[in-house]
Structure formats: structure tokens, C-alpha cells
Amino acid sequence: MENTLRTLRRFGRLSTANIEAFAAQLERVELPRNTELIREGEVSPYFYFLEKGATKTNYIDEYGDKKAVWFAFEGELLFSFSAYFAVEGHQESIELYEDSVLYRIPLRKLRYLYDTDLEWANWGRLISERFLGKVLTEMDRNRFVKAKDRYRWLIESRPDIHKRVPLKDIASYLGISKESLSRIRKEQ
């Protein structure tokens, strides 16, 4: 639970009592690789902490192709954007690349904490702000930055991504073909 506790502390100041009480409510889940943690169109009732493993978030485009839009690794959060932000019609799915250990809590319990405890309300606000910031940064990067520069940023921010994520998914995330990714990799 070490990564999960570190994640709790990273997103805001929580008292030891709050962290201990929260940790006692978490359910440990171990799932094999290739499990679809959240299926497309499903509104997941859980908020997850990724203790061990690697995942991708994707959506199905208008041509029926899966497009990778997010990767998560140890110490990161996983949740259905639709459920957490109460957005209808958002069609994401989350798949596990590796055998994974997660801790989860029902969103209703998390929302109760937000409603009844100022520390948790601030923690939830900080998560929302950081995720919104990440999404906006990604949108700008995908609109205004060349693919080779997006690739360089990805490798700098996640140096071991090639060991854990298939190249086809990295290409999908960058919005380019696998062949274009191969050319960019040769240039670097």
C-alpha cells in the first residue's frame, strides 16, 4: 500500500488520522494483465489507486479504432471521468498492460468525505485541478506541438515507457502511425 499512501499525501495535506481511516476503507484488488478495468460505456462506481502495474485509457473513434489517450503507472490514480466529473456520454475504457495491484474505494464514499470533511474536500479539489491541468496541457500539446517533440516529451517524462507499453499504443497516443513513430525513433 506504499504507493497508494504516497499518492494520498501527494495530492494534499491530510492528517494521519484521515489517512489511516481512509486506508482502512480501501479494498485491495489484484487483476491479471489484459483485464478491462473499466469498459467503454460503463460508469465505474470506483476510484482506484494503482499500487503496481501499468494501464492505458482509450476510446473507440468513429472508425472503430482504439485510441490511447492516457497511460498510468504505479502511484497514479484511475477513475472513470464520466463518473467522477458527472459527464454523460464520455466513452473511455481502461485496460491493464500488466498484472496489477490496485486499491479502490466506491465513489459514493469518496464524495461523502468531500461533503463532510474539509481536508478531503480540498484533496478532491486538488485532484480535479491537477487532472484538468493535465488534460488541457495534453490538448494544447496535441494541437500545437510536432509529433517528434511530443515523443521527446513523453520519453523524458516516462523514460521506461517502451518497456511497458506497446509501440502501437504509443503511436496512437501521439496521434501518428506506427511507421511515423519508427521514423521519429530512428532520428533521435
CA–CA separation, 97 and 118 (whole Å) = 36
**DSSP-based three-state secondary structure for 60:** strand
Identify the structural domains of the chain with CATH numbers, from first to last: 2-116 (2.60.120.10)
CA–CA separation, 99 and 54 (whole Å) = 8
Buried residues in 84-98 as b, exposed as e (16+ CB within 10 A): beeeeeeebbbbbbe
Confidence of residue 105 (pLDDT cuts 50, 70, 90): very high
What are the tens digits of pLDDT across the range 120-175?
A: 999 999 988 988 888 888 878 777 888 899 999 999 999 999 999 999 999 999 98
What are the tens digits of pLDDT across the range 57-79?
A: 998 888 888 889 889 999 999 88
Mean of all residue pLDDT scores within the chain: 90
What are the tens digits of pLDDT across the range 31-52?
A: 999 999 988 878 788 999 999 9
